[in-house]
C-alpha cells in the first residue's frame, strides 16, 4: 500500500477505512506515520492513537517536533496523556509537560520552546557554541533571544553569524521582536501577526519572563482551523460536529437551526399567501418567484461573507458602518440593474410579457438592495451584542430577503397587473 501512495491518499484511506485503520497505519514507515498523523482530523487522531499500543505511539511522538507532539497529545484524554508521558524520554517528557499545562487556545498553547537566551554583551563565538549545542540536542536551529539585565530586548537573526567576527557582541546585530502575554487568546495572536508580518512572536509570562516562541506556521494552522470553524458556523453546524459524528450528535447540533429556518420559511409562506388572488390570476408569477428570493439571498450572503471577515479582522464595527453601507448599497444597485435588465430581457423573449418583465426587473433591483442592507447591518448589530455573526446572521438575512423580496415582487404585480 505504501509504495507510490501519496500522503493525501494515505490520509483519505485512514480517514474512511475505520475498520482497517490501525493495520493500515502500522504498515507505514515512521516518517509516513508522523506526516499522516498530523494531517488527520483531531477526531481521527484521537481514535487512532487510542487504538494503538504505547510502544507504537511513543516512537512517533519522539520523532515529531515537540509542538507537533503537543498538538497530538492535546486530542487525548488526560489519563492517556499521563500514561504516555511516563514512558517518554526525560527530555521530551519535560518539554511536553510544560506545553500541556497551557490552554491550547492561548498564546502559550501555541508556542514552541525552540529558543535560546543570550546576554547582549556575549560575544559571537559564545553565541555560536550555544546555537550548536541546541541544534545537536534538538536537531533544529533555535531563535536567539537577546536579554539585557534579564529583560528581553530583541533577537539575533542567525544569518548574521556569517558576517560577524568572533569578538563581536550580540547586541551589534539586534533586531526587534514582537511579544505577547502567555494568556492572550488566539484572536489576539492572529492580530499580532497581522501587525508584524514575516516575524516570530515571543510569549512572555506574568513577570515578563520568556516562555516560548510562536512561529508563523503555528498561526497558519490556527487560521485554517478558524476558517473551518467559521465555515461550520456559517452553515449553522456546530464546530464540534465532525463527519464521523453519530446520528444523535448530528441531530443535537443542527435541530435548533433547522427549527428557526422552518419558522422563517413559514413567514415567507405567509407573505406569499397575502397575494393568492394575484398569483392565481397570473400563474407566471409563481414560476419566477424563486429567482427573486434566490438572487436576494445570494447577494446578502456575498455581503455577509465580506462583513464577517471585516469584523473578525477588526476592520469594521457598527460605529463606522455608514461608508461601508453606502458602498454595499451602491454595488447592490448596480448589480440589481444589470441582473434586472437581464431577467427582463429573458422574460420578454420567452413569454413576451412586458409587464411581468418590468415587475421582475424592478423586484430584482429592490431585493438586491435589501440583501446589501441587511447583509451589512445584521452582522454588525449581532457583533455589537457580543454574539457571533457567522452563527446566526444568515437566519435573519434570509428571512429579510425572502419576506421583503416576495412582498415587493407580488406587491408590484398586484398594482401593475390588476
pLDDT of residue 313: 67
Inform me whether the pLDDT recorded for 259 exceeds 60: yes
Partners of residue 204 on adjacent β-strands? 181, 210
Task: Give the mean model confidence (pLDDT) for residues 310-334.
Answer: 85
More confident residue, 218 or 152: 152
Q: Which domains does the chain have, with CATH numbers?
A: 7-101 (1.25.60.10), 110-229 (3.10.580.10), 247-417 (1.10.357.20)
pLDDT of residue 138: 75
pLDDT of residue 275: 85
- 121-130, 169-178, 249-258, 275-284 — which is least confidently predicted? 249-258
If residue 116 lies in a helix (H) or strand (E), which one and from where to where?
strand 115-119
pLDDT tens digit sequence for 349-374: 988 889 989 999 999 999 999 989 99
Partners of residue 106 on adjacent β-strands? 185
With beta carbons less than 8 A apart as the criterion, state whether 124 and 161 touch.
yes
Q: What whole-number distance in Å separates Cα of residue 86 and Cα of residue 91?
A: 12
**127 Cβ neighbours under 8 A, 6+ residues apart:** 118, 144, 156, 161, 170
Provide the percentage of residues in the chain whose pLDDT is more than 70: 89
pLDDT tens digit sequence for 289-304: 888 888 888 888 888 8
Inform me whether the pLDDT recorded for 345 exceeds 50: yes
pLDDT of residue 364: 92
Task: Give the mean model confidence (pLDDT) for residues 25-39.
Answer: 87
- Phi and psi at residue 117, to the nearest 5°: -115, 135
Read off the C-alpha cell for 25. Answer: 497505519
pLDDT tens digit sequence for 161-189: 777 787 888 888 888 999 999 888 888 88
Dihedral (CA of 392, 393, 396, 398) sign: negative
More confident residue, 201 or 314: 201
pLDDT of residue 307: 85
Inform me whether the pLDDT recorded for 333 exceeds 90: yes
More confident residue, 242 or 23: 23
> Quick count: other Cβ atoms within 10 Å of Cβ 331?
15
pLDDT of residue 382: 81
Inform me whether the pLDDT recorded for 284 exceeds 90: no
76: pLDDT confidence band, cut at 50, 70 and 90?
A: confident
Q: CA 408 → CA 173, 275, 326, distances in Å?
A: 68, 11, 22
Q: What whole-number distance in Å separates Cα of residue 307 and Cα of residue 263?
A: 25
- What secondary structure does DSSP assign to 134-173, as a single string? HHHHHSSPPEEEEEETTEEEEEE-GGGGGT--TT-BGGGG
- 103-107, 320-324, 327-331 — which is least confidently predicted? 103-107
pLDDT tens digit sequence for 198-237: 678 899 988 888 888 988 777 777 766 665 555 455 544 4
Whole-number average pLDDT of the chain: 83
What is the bridge-based pairing of β-strands 178-181 and 201-204? parallel
- Looking at beta carbons, which pairs linking 152-157 to residues 24 or more positions away fall under 8 Å? 152/177, 152/179, 152/202, 152/204, 152/208, 152/210, 153/120, 155/200, 155/202, 156/118, 156/127
- 26-35, 180-189, 242-251, 281-290 — which is least confidently predicted? 242-251
- Phi and psi at residue 332, to the nearest 5°: -65, -40
pLDDT tens digit sequence for 133-149: 888 877 788 889 999 88
pLDDT of residue 293: 81
Amino acid at each position: 500500500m505504501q509504495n507510490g501512495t501519496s500522503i493525501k491518499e494515505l490520509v483519505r484511506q485512514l480517514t474512511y477505512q475505520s475498520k482497517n485503520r490501525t493495520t493500515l497505519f502500522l504498515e507505514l514507515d515512521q516518517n509516513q506515520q508522523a506526516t499522516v498523523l498530523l494531517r488527520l482530523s483531531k477526531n481521527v487522531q484521537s481514535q487512532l492513537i487510542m487504538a494503538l499500543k504505547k510502544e507504537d505511539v511513543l516512537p512517533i511522538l519522539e520523532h515529531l517536533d515537540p509542538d507537533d507532539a503537543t498538538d497530538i497529545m492535546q486530542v487525548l484524554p488526560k489519563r492517556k496523556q499521563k500514561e504516555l508521558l511516563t514512558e517518554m524520554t526525560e527530555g521530551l517528557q519535560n518539554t511536553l509537560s510544560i506545553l500541556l499545562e497551557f490552554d491550547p487556545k492561548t498564546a502559550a498553547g501555541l508556542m514552541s520552546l525552540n529558543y535560546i537566551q543570550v546576554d547582549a554583551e556575549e560575544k559571537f563565538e559564545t553565541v555560536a557554541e550555544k546555537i550548536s549545542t541546541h541544534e545537536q540536542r534538538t536537531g533544529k536551529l533555535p531563535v536567539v533571544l537577546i536579554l539585557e539585565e534579564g529583560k528581553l530586548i530583541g533577537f539575533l537573526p542567525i544569518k548574521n553569524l556569517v558576517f560577524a567576527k568572533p569578538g563581536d557582541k550580540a547586541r551589534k546585530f539586534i533586531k526587534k521582536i514582537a511579544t505577547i502575554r502567555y494568556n492572550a487568546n488566539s484572536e489576539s495572536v492572529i492580530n499580532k501577526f497581522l501587525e508584524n508580518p514575516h516575524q516570530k512572536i515571543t510569549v512572555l509570562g506574568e513577570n515578563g519572563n520568556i516562555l516560548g516562541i510562536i512561529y508563523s506556521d503555528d498561526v497558519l494552522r490556527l487560521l485554517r482551523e478558524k476558517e473551518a470553524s467559521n465555515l461550520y458556523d456559517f452553515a449553522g453546524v456546530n464546530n464540534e460536529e465532525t463527519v464521523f459524528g453519530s446520528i444523535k450528535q448530528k441531530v443535537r447540533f443542527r435541530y435548533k437551526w433547522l427549527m428557526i429556518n422552518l419558522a422563517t420559511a413559514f413567514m415567507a409562506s405567509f407573505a406569499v399567501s397575502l397575494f393568492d388572488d394575484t398569483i392565481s390570476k397570473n400563474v407566471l408569477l409563481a414560476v419566477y418567484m424563486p429567482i427573486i428570493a434566490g438572487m436576494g439571498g445570494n447577494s446578502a450572503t456575498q455581503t455577509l461573507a465580506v462583513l464577517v471577515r471585516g469584523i473578525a479582522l477588526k476592520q469594521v464595527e457598527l460605529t463606522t458602518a455608514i461608508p461601508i453601507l453606502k458602498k454595499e448599497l451602491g454595488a447592490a444597485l448596480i448589480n440589481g440593474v444589470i441582473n434586472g435588465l437581464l431577467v427582463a430581457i429573458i422574460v420578454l423573449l420567452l413569454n413576451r410579457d412586458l409587464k411581468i418583465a418590468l415587475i421582475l426587473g424592478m423586484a430584482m433591483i429592490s431585493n438586491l438592495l435589501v440583501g446589501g442592507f441587511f447583509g451589512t447591518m445584521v452582522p454588525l448589530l449581532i457583533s455589537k451584542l457580543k454574539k457571533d455573526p457567522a452563527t446566526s446572521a444568515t437566519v435573519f438575512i434570509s428571512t429579510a430577503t425572502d419576506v421583503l423580496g416576495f412582498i415587493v415582487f407580488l406587491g408590484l404585480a398586484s398594482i401593475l397587473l390588476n
